[in-house]
Chain A
Amino acid sequence: MSKEENTANRPDNTAFTQQRLPAWQPMLSAGIVIPGFVIIGVAFIGIGVALFVTSQNIQVLEKDYTGIETNSSCFKCTNPRVKNCNCTINFSLDKLFEGPVFVYYGLSNYFQNYRKYGASKDAAQLTGDLAYFTEPSTSCVPYQRDAKDKPIVPCGSIANSMFNDTFKLFQIVNSGNVAVPLDGKGIAWWTDYNIKYRNPTTNPLKNAFNDTVKPIFWPRPAYELDTTNAANNGFINQDFLVWMRRSALPNFRKLYRRITEGEYAKGLPAGDYALVIGYNYPVKAFDGRKKVVFSNVSWMGGKNQFLGIAYLVIGSLCVVMSIVMLIVYAKFKFPDEE
């Protein structure tokens, strides 16, 4: 061997320094891509068919109750001067609406994703921190304090504008109207209900709200949101939680109730129904629409044709592409693999 000192300055002979690290050098060749495309295409078409069929099987019943048309039963309620207005929408099902049925309300042209609107809340207050009851965050302005300078709890635009229409569903049978029980539990995220939002530990809850006022547009203070269930009040009221999770787009729907109890748990049988709406929420001012949606859900959630169609299209596209590639390669007689 040569002398030691001759190699003193010599760079290390490691695979890394010599850029000779063992490497996998994938080449996207037709031999891989064409079968790959076929496989992906077939798989996508399969998924697409499954999605499409699933989506097709989901029953949806949408009822717009804004009351724009003068002949609509809710037209009378659109006048802002009318208080505690009720209107009824009748509909009939000619076959069983399979359960469990989910009741959504939908709003359109409603910008819950408006930035200032979204920032207008006090997260610390909503975790039950009493310090923020007396001093709500300035982000809540102009719903931080009322005209008498009393702190608003919960403060901010989001809470203030909480959706407050109510729905009651009746099945019209010969003997009269049978109320369909609507289940308000489990409509908000579990984590929101159990961890993220917290009521103050004060007992009774009402005392925590001393020296505060309810949001301006609310009919009742937060601790009386649900008169039937004491545990569903304050910041962990399910309707409140659903509302507080801001929608992504200006046309949205939010879960209102589920029909999971009693004889209707299996679904709404064919027949006539009356939906009694407590019409409180004004949307005409900003050209909005309100609707109520009955839907059942599948493993993929609510009805959504987009996914199924998209999968079918992409799947077929893949198959077509693989055929095109095959033709190209055959035509150019390109010897791809050794």
Chain B
Amino acid sequence: MLAIGRRPLRPSSRPSSATIGLCPPSTQVWNFLPKNLFEQFRRIANFYFLIIFLVQVIVDTPTSPVTSGLPLFFVITVTAIKQGYEDWLRHKADNEVNKYPVTVLENGRRMGTESEKIKVGDVVEVNEDETFPCDLILLQSTRDDDTCFVTTASLDGESNHKTHYTVPDTEKDLDSLSATIECEQPQPDLYKFVGRMHIYKTDREPEIRSLGPENLLLKGATLKNTQRICGVAVYTGMETKMALNYQGKSQKRSAVEKSINAFLLVYLCILVSKALVCTTLKYVWQSKPGQDEPWYNQKTQREKETNLYLKMFTDFLSFMVLFNFIIPVSMYVTVEMQKFLGSFFITWDRDFYDPEIQEGALVNTSDLNEELGQVEYVFTDKTGTLTQNNMEFIECCIDGFQYKYRDAVSELDGFSATDGPVSKLQEKAGKEREELFLRALCLCHTVQVKEPTGRGQDHTDSMAGVDGMEGCPPPHEQTGFIASSPDEVALVKGAMRYGFTFLGMESKKMKIMNRSNAIETYDLLHVLNFDPVRRRMSVIVRSKSGDALLFCKGADSSIFPRVRQEEVEKIRVHVERNATEGYRTLCVAYKKLSPEEYARADADLQAARLALQDREEKLIAVYNQVEAGMTLIGATAVEDRLQEEAAETMEALQGAGIKVWVLTGDKMETAKSTCYACRLFQRGTELLELTVRTLEDGVRKREERLHDLLLEYHKKAVQDVPPTKPGGSRGWSKPSQDFGFIIDGASLSMVFNSSESSSSHYKNLFLQICQNCTTVLCCRMAPLQKAQIVKMVKCSKGSPITLSIGDGANDVSMILEAHVGIGIKGKEGRQAVRNSDYAIPKLKHLKKLLLGHGHLYYVRIAHLVQYFFYKNLCFILPQFLYQFFCGYSQQPLYDAAYLTMYNICFTSMPILAYSLLEQHICVEVLLDNATLYRSIAKNAMLRWVPFFYWTLLGVFHGLLFFFGVRFLFGNPALQANGQVFGNWSYGTIVFTVLVFTVTFKLALDTRHWTWINHFVIWGSLCFYVIFSFFWGGIIWPFLKQQRLYYVFAHMLSSASAWLVIVLLILLSLLPDILLVVLRKPLGPRARQRQAGESGAGGPKSSAQPLLMRTFSDESNTVV
């Protein structure tokens, strides 16, 4: 009988899965519509149009409800379709997991069911290559060593095989197992899990087993290399870690949207004041005798009886309705379409395709496209972002003797001493020490040997960070190593070159082959995992001889205090030399544990692992206790190369006026050398250092020193530098002296956390200094500090647009904090990518993303927004002016069809095409001349001055259209047969001029005419003409009044109408043409285009960047 059940044992906490079953993460088909509508009408603009529509339905208004109802319906429909599509994609993804057939063991029988029907406590059977349907605790595996392998590629992108273990010492026979599981509340952290299993046996006390992440199989992960497992469901549905990670991305709003809202407010004011002016004038005008109610236009009884103030109010509403088109109803939908469709160009860009990982760029949100063109600060991670995180073992030092692996040509005993200053006297360390060191390298890691699967080996290798295979012919077989950190693989491979090969692990026994090709086995007793705080990891193994050995490796700063001090000095020299050469260094230490020591450590570790509360803290305490009094054996140096074109990219960013801040957990020296290599610091750059080292120079307290230094630097960088004009994109010139600022985590926390009064002062000084430096380097940062810095800059004066780029889990906080977060599809998993707004395969792609795509998107959307406001202003202004000529009677100038169609048919497509395809300067030129980026900095195209210009243009055009036709209608006999034109002809002529002018204005601004632009622009005009013919050519049975019947045709039969249309269009465009032509000789960037054209096509320099060596013991890498 199966008796695995689960009882909540802690009354204080809700059982983790009280709600069993699956609440759908998104909407269902049936409630999509109401839910979507509700969401859409929460938008202020849509709500506004709904109100207008309702006013039209209720009050007797000049235009029929259709005129605003139809565009609103159109907008809502398009948005709903877009959101429905996104929902559908989500649903599809959900269904793949939700309806997945699974096998559940119940009462000893196997039952088929669907994955969404799994309840907590069910025992689920999963076969090889199947995906886990929920979060499971592994109970049984077909593998001998009670392990199974999974890949979490779909969760965090790490395609390496991870080993998970069955709950220790449970019965092999599940039928006879009776147990309860206690576990923590569901939480999204994929790598954390705490639980306890109580196993009940009939004759004994219940046994308690601790459960950790190594026992938990996550939903979404795939079983590999294991035939079949059985596990008990602990979290299902929305409580699985995958589901918890799926949602809750914070909404980021772009600066453009803020501009839109500001402009909208201005237009709302214009609208209200127009309505107010008209209402007032109406009553002023009516107060004159004879005007209010001429005999030919008498009022109805009801009108006479209506209260005057009520009449005024309805008049006001009527004017609002009449002029409401000034608020561009379709702008939001067009902006949304533009963003949605425009983001595809990033995904489609082949330049972002990286053949190595076979992926291109990824767009997680389309809301921020234009923000890419506005970036002022770039915060970049170092490891994996500026550098490749592609480690290569360079050398090691054993007992102070340097061993350099010279060539890839493998001699199995390839030790060769170089003429390092230390190793001159004695060439080699003792053989025993050598071998101990190499054994340490072979044992102290969490690397797995990839079992040859026979298929696609290279394919997965490249993903898992196994590289350099071609360099060293492996001794036995094509072995691959899999690890979550590339450093570990590099070290194991390094050991292999010196003759010690790690063969793999079998049932907790590590096998290594030593130099004499003999196989040594060690029992793996404990792994003291790496974590960024301790910055080291250890293993405890038992050798054949029965000795318990502890091997530890980690950052020098964390090892040196824990070893006997007399050994430190000779190694320190090496470590520091390696550091200046730019390698990542690790120190290796060991300790022999006496049986008593081991017994105590073992007991402590077990106890800590079982703890339900504060397990982490307890474990760390035990780790610290065990890893003490060790013997230092040596150090390793691993090279991490700079990313391709890292320096060029950084240079381009700086050329674009972007300030680059490097935020790293790494050492100052390493980070500094990387900065020099990336040309972030130049030779002339004066470095201002605010680190623990500079703070401790004096005898004074750190606080005082901090104060002094800050003031000194402030004087240097801020006060003594002649102020550059803020926002002056034209006269931007490099300040005479470049400053670079370096600060470390400890100093930063002092700045942030010093006593209340001075904190804000320090922060202010710090910020001002930083803002005047070309590059700021923040080293030894904790992930949270990175976010703190981003936040500080984000909230500083002028709220500059920030961008964070990183590849690791430690960058997630700053990626989320910045305006734009960019993830690099690096080797440290997919967490950064998952949380980013955009993900690119390589750092070098950032250049095109910002300077190319970002610039274009910004120009496109800025133009789109301005154009939208402009075209609606000059659309509605004649209607406003007409009120002065029709007794303020709310007579519409245009026919209802024109009012309705103007925004959704006649003028919407050209601007959409423009906003998707425009390249006012071609991409190559943009990439070549980084300075062009400055021309759009600080939201240049959406500031009040350009807005004012566009508004002025709209007013000018509106006045021109109306009064041009007004003067023509001084004599309405415009046809050659002497017949006269009426009011609808008037409106139609104005509208024709309007549609053509507005479209030609866009055509004039279009610098990049693809066939689509041609098609859409000329197509729209043709459509307008054909529509007008059609609309006026038929007696429409559903229309009450055939107001436009043959109006358009009559207009075209009049030569005067033609002439006035041509005249007004030309006159409207004249200022624009003049501006374009005259700006060229007078303006600043006259010849950029031509200059760029000659250089087009050749920007892709084939020159590989300088291979800069750098080292790191950065906290984020799992060492």
Write the nearest CB–CB distance from A44 to chain B, whole angstroms.
8
**Is there an interface contact between A28 and B1077, defined as CB atoms closer than 8 Å?**
yes
Interface of chain A residues 100 through 120 with chain B (CB within 8 A): 100, 102, 104, 110-118, 120
- Residues in B neighbouring A11, C-beta threshold 8 A: 347-350, 352-353, 360
Asked whether A21 and B917 contact (CB < 8 A) given A10-B350, A115-B886, A249-B966, the answer is yes
Is A25 among interface residues, defined by CB-CB distance under 8 A?
yes
How would residues 1073 to 1099 of chain B score, 1 for a CB under 8 Å from any chain A CB and 0 otherwise?
110111011100010011000000000
A147 within 8 A of B: no
B1004 — nearest CB in chain A belongs to which residue?
Answer: A28
Q: Do residues B973 and A104 form an inter-chain contact, with CB atoms below 8 A?
A: yes
Q: Report yes or no: A282 in contact with B349, Cβ–Cβ below 8 A.
A: no
Q: How many A-B residue pairs have CB under 8 A?
A: 266
Contact across chains for A111 and B297 when beta carbons are under 8 A apart: yes
Among the stretches B169-177, B563-571, B1060-1068, the one at the interface with A is B1060-1068
Write the nearest CB–CB distance from B759 to chain A, whole angstroms. Answer: 48
In the complex, A124 Cα to B1037 Cα: how many Å?
10
Check A157/B298 contact, CB under 8 A, given A301-B976, A325-B1078. yes
A247 to B348, CA, bound (A): 56
B contact residues around A56 at 8 Å (CB): none
Name B344's closest neighbour in chain A (CB-CB).
A17
Q: Which of A116, A120, A307 contacts B1059 (CB 8 A)?
A: A307
Residue of A nearest to B1067 (CB): A314
Which residues of chain A from 15 to 37 have a CB within 8 Å of any chain B CB?
A: 17-19, 21-30, 33-34
Interface string of A281-318 (1 = CB under 8 A from B): 01001110000000101111111101100110010011
Chain A residues whose CB sits within 8 angstroms of the CB of B309 once the complex forms? none
In Å, the complex CA distance between A21 and B1066 comes to 30
Q: Is the CB–CB distance between A21 and B1011 below 8 Å?
A: yes
Of B49-57, B980-988, B1108-1116, the one with at least 4 CB within 8 A of chain A = B980-988
Contacts of A115 in B (CB 8 A): 62, 886, 889-892
Measured CB to CB, the nearest residue on chain A to B297 is: A117
A252-B298 in contact (CB<8A): no
Q: Is the CB–CB distance between B1059 and A300 below 8 Å?
A: yes
Complex-state Cα separation, A92 to B360, whole angstroms: 88
Residues of A within 8 A of B349 (CB): 11, 17-19
Fill in one digit per residue for B350-371: 1 if any A CB lies within 8 Å of its CB, else 0: 1011010011100000000000
Name the one of B297, B978, B1004 contacting A255, with C-beta atoms under 8 angstroms.
B978
Tell which of A7, A19, A304, A334 touches B1056, judged by Cβ atoms closer than 8 Å. A304
A258 at the interface (CB under 8 A from B): yes
Beta-carbon contact of B1040 and A301 below 8 Å:
no
Is there an interface contact between B973 and A248, defined as CB atoms closer than 8 Å? no
Give the CA-CA distance A311 to B1059 in the complex, in Å: 9
Stretch of A171-179, A187-195, A202-210, A227-235 contacting B (4+ beta carbons < 8 Å):
A187-195
Taking CB atoms, residues of chain B closer than 8 Å to A299 are 976, 1055
Please state if A302 and B1045 are interface contacts (CB–CB under 8 Å).
no
Name which residue of chain A comes closest to B968, CB basis.
A306
Chain A contacts of B986 at CB under 8 A? Answer: 248-249
Number of A interface residues in the complex (CB < 8 A)? 98
Query: Which of the residues A114, A242, A314 comes within 8 Å of B891, measured between beta carbons?
Result: A114
Bound-complex Cα distance A47 to B973 (A): 20
**What residue in chain A is nearest B302 (Cβ atoms)?**
A141
A310 pairs with B1063, CB closer than 8 A: yes
Interface string of B1006-1047 (1 = CB under 8 A from A): 011111110000000000000000000001000011100110
| B971 interface residue per 8 A CB criterion | yes
Tell me whether B290 and A22 are in contact (CB under 8 A).
Answer: no
**Which residues of chain A are within 8 angstroms of B886 by Cβ–Cβ distance?**
111, 113-115, 250
Chain B residue with minimal CB distance to A138? B300
A303 CA to B978 CA, complexed, in Å: 10
A267 CA to B917 CA, complexed, in Å: 61
CB-CB < 8 A to B987: which residues of A?
Answer: 248
By the criterion CB–CB under 8 Å, are B297 and A161 in contact?
A: yes
Is the Cβ of A157 less than 8 Å from the Cβ of B296?
yes
Contact assessment for A117 and B1059 in the assembled complex, using a CB-CB cutoff below 8 Å = no
Known contacts A142-B300, A157-B297, A307-B1063; A13 and B350 CB within 8 A of each other: yes
Q: Which residues of A contact B1089 (CB under 8 A)?
A: 27
Please, which residues of chain B bring their CB within 8 A of the CB of A303? 971
- Judge if A160 is at the interface, Cβ distance under 8 Å: yes
> How many Å from the CB of B663 to the closest CB on chain A?
31
Contacting residue for A24 out of B353, B977, B1009, B1063, CB 8 A: B1009
CA distance A280 to B892 in the complex (A): 31
Q: Let me know if A195 and B348 touch, CB within 8 A.
A: no
Residues of B within 8 A of A192 (CB): 1045
The answer to whether A19 and B1066 touch (CB under 8 A), given A117-B297, A301-B974, A328-B1078, is: no
Chain B residues with CB under 8 Å of A124's CB are 1040
Shortest CB-to-CB span from B356 to chain A, Å, is 9
Are B296 and A117 closer than 8 Å at their CB atoms? yes
> Given that A40-B1066, A123-B1040 are contacting pairs, would A325 and B348 also be in contact in the complex, using a CB cutoff of 8 Å?
no
**A12 interface residue (CB < 8 Å to B):** yes
Looking across the interface, which residue of chain B has its beta carbon closest to that of A252?
B972
Q: How far apart are A335's CB and chain B's nearest CB, in angstroms? A: 8
Nearest A residue to B456, CB-CB: A5
A186 to B983, alpha carbons, bound, how many Å?
Answer: 20
Question: B359–A9 contact, CB under 8 A?
Answer: yes
Q: B191 contacts the other chain (Cβ, under 8 Å)?
A: no
Q: Does A253 contact B (CB under 8 A)?
A: yes
Whether B971 lies near A195 (C-beta < 8 A) is no
B294: interface (CB < 8 Å) = yes
In Å, the complex CA distance between A252 and B986 comes to 13
Say whether B1050 contacts A307, CB under 8 Å.
Answer: no
Complex CA–CA separation, A301 to B975 (angstroms): 5
Residues of A within 8 A of B1009 (CB): 23-26
Residue A196 interfacial (CB < 8 Å): yes
Instruction: Write the chain B residue with the least CB distance to A287.
Output: B290
Q: Is B885 an interface residue (CB 8 A)?
A: yes
Q: How far is the CA of A21 from the CA of B979 in the complex (A)?
A: 50
Assess the B976–A246 pair: CB atoms within 8 A: no
Please state if B294 and A196 are interface contacts (CB–CB under 8 Å): no
Q: By the criterion CB–CB under 8 Å, are A297 and B978 in contact?
A: yes
Taking a contact as CB atoms under 8 Å apart, the answer to whether A247 and B977 are in contact is no
Q: Which of B290, B966, B984, B1080 contacts A286 (CB 8 A)?
A: B290
Say yes or no: B1063 contacts A21, CB within 8 Å: no
Task: Bits for A65-94, please: 1 = Cβ < 8 Å to B, else 0.
Answer: 000000000000000000000000000000
Contacts of A17 in B (CB 8 A): 344-345, 348-350
- Report B372 CB to chain A, min CB distance, Å: 15
CB <8 Å contact, B980 and A255:
yes
The answer to whether A276 has its CB under 8 Å from any CB of chain B is: no
Q: Does A201 contact B (CB under 8 A)?
A: no
A9-B353, A310-B1063 as given contacts; A21 in contact with B1012, CB under 8 Å: yes
The verdict on A218 contacting chain B, using a C-beta distance below 8 Å, is no
The CA of A2 and the CA of B356, in the complex, are separated in Å by 12
Chain A residues with CB under 8 Å of B1042's CB are: 123, 196
If A11-B353, A248-B983, A248-B987 are given as contacts, then 12 extra A-B residue pairs at C-beta distance below 8 Å, sorted by A number, are A18-B350, A30-B1081, A44-B1063, A246-B983, A248-B985, A250-B885, A286-B294, A301-B978, A304-B970, A306-B967, A310-B967, A310-B1063
Listed from nearest, the 3 A-B pairs whose CB atoms lie closest are A161-B296, A302-B973, A248-B986
10 A-B residue pairs with CB within 8 Å: A9-B360, A10-B353, A13-B350, A18-B348, A19-B349, A113-B887, A141-B300, A248-B983, A304-B1056, A334-B1080
Which residues from chain A sit less than 8 Å from chain B, CB to CB? 2, 5-13, 17-19, 21-30, 33-34, 40, 44, 47, 51, 100, 102, 104, 110-118, 120, 123-124, 141-143, 157, 160-161, 186-189, 191-192, 195-196, 242, 245-250, 252-255, 258, 282, 285-287, 295, 297-304, 306-307, 310-311, 314, 317-318, 321, 325, 328-329, 332, 334, 336, 338
Q: Which B residues fall within an 8 A CB radius of A?
A: 62, 290-291, 294-301, 344-345, 347-350, 352-353, 355, 358-360, 459, 885-887, 889-892, 917, 919, 922-923, 964, 966-987, 1004, 1007-1013, 1035, 1040-1042, 1045-1046, 1050, 1054-1056, 1059-1060, 1063, 1066-1067, 1070, 1073-1074, 1076-1078, 1080-1082, 1086, 1089-1090
